[in-house]
Copies of this chain bind each other. A is one copy, B any other.
Amino acid sequence: MKQIESIKEFGGWLNRYQHGSESCHCDMTFSVYLPPQAATEKVPVVYWLSGLTCTDDNVRTKAGAQRYAAELGIALVIPDTSPRGNEVADEPERYDLGQGAGFYVNATQPPWSQHYRMYDYITRELPALIEAILPVIPGVRSITGHSMGGHGALICALKEPGAYRSVSAFAPICHPTVCGWGEGCFSAYLGNDIEAWKAYDATELIKAGAPGMPLLIDQGTGDEFLAGQLYPAELRAACEERGIPLTLRMQDGYDHSYHFIATFIGEHLAYHAAALRK
């Protein structure tokens, strides 16, 4: 792992790293914000998973999260949204399949299965790497994300009981097996068997009995993707049936952009910090 950039911010350091990934069989780039406290002690970590088309640069530039991380003494780990490179399968004319659209699954279908192993990367390889090298408390992690990354955060927490102290999401894709974005990626990465898709669908995981944990979700009512892609009502119905505590806040008038995320990221990070400091 080599550090390729380091920028001082809020008394801490916003670093970018590159490493050869065993899961994805290619070089991967990610960013970490280390708060000022990390200079003298190990700190807990919040993982941020980004949405379609993003790299690690979007949230670190647009969300205003580093200010809160510095105040709360938590590190932010920001992975990329897919494997990348000339040798990595892609659909260059599509923003919602291939590079930038890994959907946080382990692909099983060629040509995607060679590199698109984002689920293993996010839940296993990246935490092990970070906890071995950076000043963070091993195993003390929470996870959150936006849109496709909100979906990612929910499935990682639901599929890995005990791995994350808390989980939240901004405008997540709650039920990817029934929305266009999810169908497009899941059919390519996972094939035609819809049972394989359900293993990466938060609503289906809950219906199927995944161990519950509290879920915090903010969703803008002015979000242009709410009706066609996100399906929070289906997730809510599944949570109610299972008795899983879901806090779904419909935020009046907010859209799908980072301006929405910026508005509520402070509350999410405070929520995670409370769980991480327990």
| A8 at the B interface (CB under 8 A) | yes
| Residues of A within 8 A of B (CB-CB), count | 23
Residue of B nearest to A220 (CB): B8
Contacting chain B: which of A102-110, A113-121, A182-190, A249-257?
Answer: A249-257
Residue contact B7 to A255, C-beta cutoff 8 Å? yes
Question: Bound complex: CA of A148 vs CA of B262, how far in Å?
Answer: 27
* A10→B61 CA distance, assembly (Å): 17
Which residues of chain B are near A14, meaning CB under 8 Å?
A: 259
Write out the residue numbers on chain B whose beta carbons fall within 8 Å of the beta carbon of A61: 61-62, 258
Partner among B10, B67, B222 whose Cβ is within 8 Å of the Cβ of A8: B222
Also in contact, A8 and B262, with CB within 8 A (given A62-B61, A64-B64, A64-B67): no
A260 and B61 alpha carbons, distance in the complex (Å) = 11
Question: Is A160 among interface residues, defined by CB-CB distance under 8 A?
Answer: no
Decide yes or no whether A192 CB sits under 8 A from chain B: no
Q: Which residues of B contact A220 (CB under 8 A)?
A: 8
Q: Closest CB-CB distance, A10 to chain B, in whole Å?
A: 5
**Alpha-carbon distance between A66 and B64 when the two chains are bound, in angstroms:** 10
Q: Give the secondary structure class of A's interface.
A: mixed
Q: Are the CB atoms of B67 and A9 closer together than 8 Å?
A: no
A263 part of interface (Cβ distance < 8 Å): yes
**Copies of this protein, total:** 2
State whether B10 touches A263 (Cβ < 8 A): yes
Is A8 in contact with B258, judged by CB distance below 8 angstroms? no
Could you mark each residue 123-138 of chain A with 1 if its beta carbon is under 8 Å from any beta carbon of chain B, else 0?
0000000000000000
Contact of A9 among B8, B66, B262 (CB under 8 A): B262
Enumerate chain B residues within 8 angstroms of A257, measured Cβ to Cβ: 7
Against B, the Cβ 8 Å flags (1 = close, 0 = not) of A5-47 are: 0011111001000000000000000000000000000000000
> A67 contacts which of B62, B222, B262 (Cβ < 8 Å)?
B262
> C-beta contact mask, A198-230 vs B, less than 8 Å → 1, else 0?
000000000000000000000010100000000
List of 6 A-B pairs having minimum Cβ-Cβ separation, nearest first = A64-B64, A9-B259, A8-B253, A7-B259, A8-B254, A10-B263
The contact sample of 23 A-B pairs, CB cut-off 8 A, is A7-B255, A7-B257, A8-B220, A8-B222, A8-B254, A8-B255, A8-B259, A8-B263, A9-B259, A9-B260, A9-B262, A9-B263, A10-B262, A10-B263, A11-B263, A14-B259, A61-B62, A61-B258, A62-B62, A64-B67, A64-B262, A66-B262, A67-B263
